[in-house]
Amino acid sequence: MTAAPAPAIAIDTTSFSTYFRYAAIAYSSDISAYGTWSCPLCLDASIRDTTNVTFTPSPDDAQEQGYIAVSPSLKTIIFAVRGSRTVEEWLNNLQIWKKALPITNRPTGVEVHSGFWDVWTQLRPIMEPTLVRHLNANPGYTVTFVGHSLGGAVTQLAAVDFAARGIVPASNAQLITFGQPRVGSIEFSQYFSKLGFKQVVRVINKSDIVPHLPPAFLDYRHQFHEYWINKSGVLITNCNDDTNGKEATNCANTQITKLSVPDHLSYFGISLPK
């Protein structure tokens, strides 16, 4: 199969740290800080104007959480899901089995990590109606799905689910993740690329271990397009991955023999909340 040509990328890479702040805030354990937007990361000038913030814990046991908010300056609705509490917890409970993506009219072979999909189904009953309210209240705004680690995987699945059901057209949504694990099969990666999202950004910091899991030899593949922060702290924007499920060979995969947990816990000099 001939590799699909990479679509043109037109994004302000200086905004990545802004979106990482949004992703990191989903870890906050101070529930009151969401409504008042008063957490330490919330007060940064780049996101201080964020409004209409709704905290969205999973209805059954509140073990998972996210939030939805509005950024007037970016003219986007932020959809964020928290990652695992600790990398060790995530690694210790890593499931590797896949299930067919439970979406109508999906192509054959489109499979996703069963545990990631289960997290999304726990959050969907509260996050979907909340997002719909924000969409109705903010016509003309895009939706930006953001997440770090497990949160990135879950927000990708949410974006796919919403696009497939017509709740959020892919052309009006962008996915920006940090330290995201692989989510599904190579067929899922191809299917995702064909949905036509407005922008897709997958950032990996140095030798971050999590993006290398679950392993590729189990038929897991990342989605296009990778951006890699190299060991010198330089953001590499020409990673040679493509929309056919080929992962880049000139970026994070060059670090496969020297993977790091600490590189997962801080991006752009911004650490996750304790």
User: Greater confidence, 84 or 151?
Assistant: 151
Average pLDDT estimate for 73-92: 82
Q: What is the pLDDT of residues 132-157, one digit of tens each?
A: 999 999 999 999 999 999 999 999 99
d(CA 260, CA 274) in angstroms, rounded, equals: 19
Given a cut of 60, is residue 8 above it in pLDDT? no
Q: What is the pLDDT of residues 231-260, one digit of tens each?
A: 999 999 999 999 999 999 999 999 999 999
Quick one: pLDDT band at residue 9, thresholds 50, 70, 90? very low
Given a cut of 90, is residue 7 above it in pLDDT? no
Q: What is the pLDDT of residues 11-52, one digit of tens each?
A: 778 899 999 999 999 999 898 999 999 999 999 999 999 999
Average pLDDT estimate for 53-57: 95
Average pLDDT estimate for 66-74: 97
Residue 226 parent element (H or E) = strand 226-229
Average pLDDT estimate for 80-89: 78
Q: What is the pLDDT of residues 108-133, one digit of tens each?
A: 999 999 989 999 999 999 999 999 99
User: So what's the pLDDT on residue 60?
Assistant: 77
Question: What is the CB neighbour count within 10 angstroms for residue 110?
Answer: 20
Which tokens go with 106? Answer: 């999906």
- Strand bridging mode 51-57 / 65-71: antiparallel
Which tokens go with 203? Answer: 């950032």
User: What letter does residue 221 receive in the DSSP assignment?
Assistant: B
Contact assessment for residue 79 and residue 66, using Cβ atoms and an 8 Å cutoff: yes
